[in-house]
Amino acid sequence: MDAQRQTKALLQLCKRLERAWTLPDILAAVAPVVEDVLGYSHAWLALIGDRPGFVSVISQVTSDSEYQHLQAVAQTMDIPIAGDRMLEEILAADHVVVVQDARTDPRTNKEVVAQLHNRTIINVPLLLADERLGVVGIGTFGDVEGVRPPSDWQLDFMQALAGHVAVALDRVRFMQARKQAEDALYHEKERLQVTLHSISDAVITTNADGELLYINPVAEVLTGWTLASAVGHPYGHVFCLADSPVPSPDLVADAIATAQTQRYPQLKLVQLQLGSLLVEAAVSPIRDAEGAVQGAVLVFRDVTEQRRLSQEMAFQATHDELTGLGNRRAFEATLALSFARTREQALTHVVCYLDLDDFKVVNDTCGHTAGDELLRQIAQLFQGVLGPDDHLCRLGGDEFGMVLTEQTLSQALRVAERLQQGLAAYRFVWQDQNFGVGVSIGMVLLDAHSESVGALLQAADSACYVAKDSGRGRIHVYATDDPALAQRYGVMEWVSRIENALRNDRFVLYAQPIVPIAQGPARGLHCEFLLRMRDAHGGLVLPGEFMPAVERYHLAARVDRWVVSHALGWMVRHQDQIEQCSINLSGQSLGDTVFMAFVLDALATTPMPCHKLCFEITETAAIGNLHAAKDFIDTLRKLGCKLSLDDFGSGLSSFAYLRNLPVDVLKIDGQFVRDIATDAVSQAMVKSIHEIGCLMGKETVAEFVETPAILDVLRGFGVHYAQGYSVGYPVPLDQLLQSPTPLH
């Protein structure tokens, strides 16, 4: 073919390649030229580097219908380079590489040749500025076309064609990369828009001058502005902060000036025609690829409810929910602050513990709702007496704490007296009942000589205990040389000894007979179990020494468990000789559900009739825990146990409560029995208790029967049983059944 025709063909190819936008477009431009000028009906284009270690055939065109099915096969083919000597030569060459017959040439991959039916293969590497882009190739297929090696002018034409294809390929790949970048940018923008529309935070973006560029839907809701109306405005018009004594910061300007994210934990945002709310905000500068600041993004969220809840939780953490007063934590914090002030200035304060008297009567009689209302009313009454600088807190239950600021003891005493006077004049009315309530107050001076906050708390608590223990409704001032406090601390020392006795089984059971006064047939043993403790030297300790500590430090339920366990064990072994044995229980154990479960379990697993067992509770404990006492009595009576009310007559309202306590036995308080032989009033009391008990179907037991004269008077009244030194002394259990107890 003459040179003019070749030049014209290449010029037409260049025009076609200028219109190529894709890789198949390039091959579509090349194939007609190859067929018209060179006479080959098959052309292909392959890329290097799309998949490392492979040559990827991305397009093949053939005008021979017999081989068109191979186009689809070739367009999905990645040919491995390793071991393919033809491909290795192409990748190293800068000229046309010819394989005259692919079937016999040792350089070809025979598996690929068999799949594509290649015969003659003419490949030209596509080189541009020392970059190897791919391969453009032509050739023959099958036996019909056979082997057709190219002539020299055809090789020269292919070399020239490859140069034009390389330029077109580079341009198409550049356009594809730009299109991919544009698509990625578009999709990223779409994702960003969707994200900004979906996130729960409000977002505003601005330019470097603070003009608003974008506002997402959440920000529209919080500010009251729409996107359309907000764009172009200074961001401060949209994100408008409330006036304050301190000028509001320019959030965007600060972020841009510092080139750092600025955080604002709480700002007051004014909504457009909607009011205001509290927001938490962060502003970050927006930089371009070179790092220059182009604007800012302001992210904020509504924290109004969160702040309200935080304030509510902070208030609840330091305040009593029932009364609104400060709680124990607030009291200790106030005390610590007052203590610190006395280190810096010559000031004195007074710390007070207040414990309501007879509060449990209201709680047990009318229920906890009434008790709660009583506490609220008393809190208001106390606050009305205190000054603006004084602090009143509820410490728990019916206990209160006060710090009387910058007052002396004499001033504090007058305040305490006014509190007691106000409470004395106050009557709590609930439904058809009304009650009077008192208060015991312990106080301690807080000055520069005070040791510590802990010591002050302990001193005030101890002083309050002494006030309550002295008869209630009292005021006691702490003093280091106070004998009453010394006794109190002595009680505290008993705690470790009691714990030791429980751990090492150092308690001992004694028993005292309870004897029928009227003559009758012989009966089995009737007695009351009594508790003793052995000290470190083996000596006996009477309950009067250790029981105050047991009650005060809430060890009673544990001690009662020990007594019940050991008493039942002894009764089982001697049940044939027993008529009835009584076990004393503390008032604390009455309302203890765990202790009740223990007793029920012990009775269920003890092989002994329940009617031989009587539980004694004091009148004071029963009245102080009325509902608990009634539940306790009802539960045990259903099992067949007897219940006895000890020290009956000691309370002012004994008979009033008797109707509500279904006990079997009344034990007449020994203070009346002891003087019955010489005192007419005591005789009248004992006689009336016995008669009312009989009317209600209850048996009576007289305590402290110490002389025959007392016994004679009791016999004359018809009292059923006697207990005391005149009829039998307390003895160890192992001696109890050894000899009969005479009735003098």
- Same-domain pairing of 323 and 302: no
> Could you give the CA distance from residue 624 to residue 424 in angstroms, rounded to a whole number?
20
- In a domain, residue 485? The reply is no
Q: Is the dihedral of CA 99, 100, 106, 112 positive or negative?
A: positive
- In a domain, residue 432? The reply is yes
**CA distances for 558 relative to 466, 495, 498, 713, angstroms:** 25, 12, 10, 40
- Same-domain pairing of 447 and 593: no
Q: Is the dihedral of CA 450, 454, 460, 466 positive or negative?
A: negative
- CATH number of the domain at 110, please: 3.30.450.40
pLDDT at 112: 87
- In a domain, residue 182? The reply is no
> Could you give the CA distance from residue 236 to residue 248 in angstroms, rounded to a whole number?
10
- Same-domain pairing of 641 and 696: yes
- In a domain, residue 130? The reply is yes
- Same-domain pairing of 639 and 682: yes
- Same-domain pairing of 217 and 118: no
- In a domain, residue 183? The reply is no
Instruction: Give the residues of the chain that fall short of pLDDT 50.
Output: 652-653, 742, 744
Q: Which residues are catalytic, by number?
A: 398
- Same-domain pairing of 618 and 499: yes
Dump the DSSP string for 312-370.
HHHHHHHB-TTT-SB-HHHHHHHHHHHHHHHHHSS--EEEEEEEEESHHHHHHHH-HHH
**CA distances for 700 relative to 515, 645, 687, angstroms:** 11, 10, 11
Is residue 436 within 8 A of residue 420, CB to CB? The reply is no
Rg, Å, the chain Cα set? 52
- Same-domain pairing of 463 and 356: yes
- In a domain, residue 592? The reply is yes
Q: Count the alpha carbons within 13 Å of 36 in the hemisphere toward its beta carbon.
A: 12
- In a domain, residue 193? The reply is no
- Same-domain pairing of 129 and 214: no
| Model pLDDT for residues 200-251, shown as the tens digit of each residue | 789 999 999 999 999 999 999 999 999 999 999 999 999 999 876 556 778 9
The burial of 250, by beta-carbon neighbours within 10 Å (0-12 exposed, 13-18 middle, 19 or more buried), is given as: middle
> Could you give the CA distance from residue 87 to residue 137 in angstroms, rounded to a whole number?
12
pLDDT at 650: 64
- CATH number of the domain at 229, please: 3.30.450.20
pLDDT at 386: 92
pLDDT at 316: 82
Q: Beta-carbon neighbour count of residue 692 at 10 Å? A: 16
- Same-domain pairing of 688 and 592: yes
> Could you give the CA distance from residue 207 to residue 297 in angstroms, rounded to a whole number?
9
Is residue 513 within 8 A of residue 521, CB to CB? The reply is no
Backbone angles phi and psi of 483, in degrees to 5: -65, -35
Q: Which of 480, 515, 542 finishes a domain?
A: 480
- Same-domain pairing of 300 and 330: no
- Same-domain pairing of 438 and 578: no
- The count of structural domains within the chain is 4
End-to-end CA distance of the chain: 158
For 356-393, letters b (16+ CB in 10 Å) and e give bbbbbbbbbbbeeebbebbbbebbeebeebbeeebbbb
pLDDT at 310: 81
Q: Which of 288, 308, 328 finishes a domain?
A: 308
Q: Which of 250, 285, 308 finishes a domain?
A: 308
- Same-domain pairing of 464 and 375: yes
Q: Which domain holds residue 210?
A: 199-308
Hunting for tokens 């060459």 — which residue is that? 93
Backbone angles phi and psi of 729, in degrees to 5: -90, 155
Hunting for tokens 């004269």 — which residue is that? 709
pLDDT at 219: 92
- In a domain, residue 345? The reply is yes
